[in-house]
Amino acid sequence: MIYFDNAATTMEKPEKVVEAVTRALTSMGNAGRGAHASSLGASRMIFDTRRKLAELFHGEDPSQVVFTANATESLNMAIKGLFTSKDHIITTQLEHNSVLRPLYELEEQGAELTILQSDAKGCIRYEEFEKHIKENTRAIVCTHGSNVTGNLVDIKKVGEIAKKHNLLFVVDASQTAGVFPIDVQEMNIDVLCFTGHKGLLGPQGTGGMYVRKGLEIRPLKTGGSGVQTYSRRHPDKMPIALEAGTLNAHGLAGLNAALDYLKETGTPFIREKEQELMWDFYEKVADIPGITLYGEFKNRKRCPIVSLNVKGYDSAEVSDFLAVEYSIATRPGAHCAPLMHQALGTVNQGAVRFSFSHYNTREEVELAVAALKDLLG
**pLDDT tens string 110-161:** 999 999 999 999 999 999 999 999 999 999 999 999 999 999 999 999 999 9
pLDDT, mean of residues 237-254: 95
- In terms of Cα–Cα distance, which of 251, 244, 241 is closest to 63? 241
* CATH number of the domain within which 274 lies: 3.90.1150.10
pLDDT for res 209: 98
pLDDT, mean of residues 235-264: 96
* CATH number of the domain within which 74 lies: 3.40.640.10
Look up the domain containing 368 and give its range: 2-10+267-376
Same domain, 218 and 229: yes
Q: Secondary structure of 148-168 in the HEC alphabet?
A: CCCCECCHHHHHHHHHHCCCE
Measured between its terminal Cα atoms, the distance across the chain in Å is: 23
Tell which of 207, 241, 265 closes a domain: 265
Same domain, 115 and 147: yes
pLDDT for res 303: 98
Same domain, 93 and 236: yes
pLDDT classification of 56: cutoffs 50, 70, 90: very high
Domain count, the chain: 2
Same domain, 160 and 304: no
Average pLDDT of the residues of the chain = 96
pLDDT for res 87: 98
pLDDT for res 354: 98
> Has residue 76 got a pLDDT over 90?
yes
163 Cβ neighbours under 8 A, 6+ residues apart: 169, 188
The residues facing 65 across adjacent strands are 210
Same domain, 39 and 166: yes
pLDDT for res 40: 86
Same domain, 241 and 325: no
pLDDT for res 155: 98
Tell which of 211, 230, 265 closes a domain: 265
Same domain, 116 and 228: yes
Same domain, 344 and 221: no
The residue among 74 and 234 whose pLDDT is bigger is 74
pTM summary value: 0.96
199-225: per-residue pLDDT in tens? 999 999 999 999 999 999 999 998 988
Nearest 5°: phi and psi at 210? -100, 125
Cβ 335 vs Cβ 295: under 8 Å: no
Alpha-carbon dihedral angle through residues 258, 264, 270, 272, given to the nearest 10 degrees = 160
Tell which of 231, 250, 265 closes a domain: 265
pLDDT, mean of residues 259-286: 98
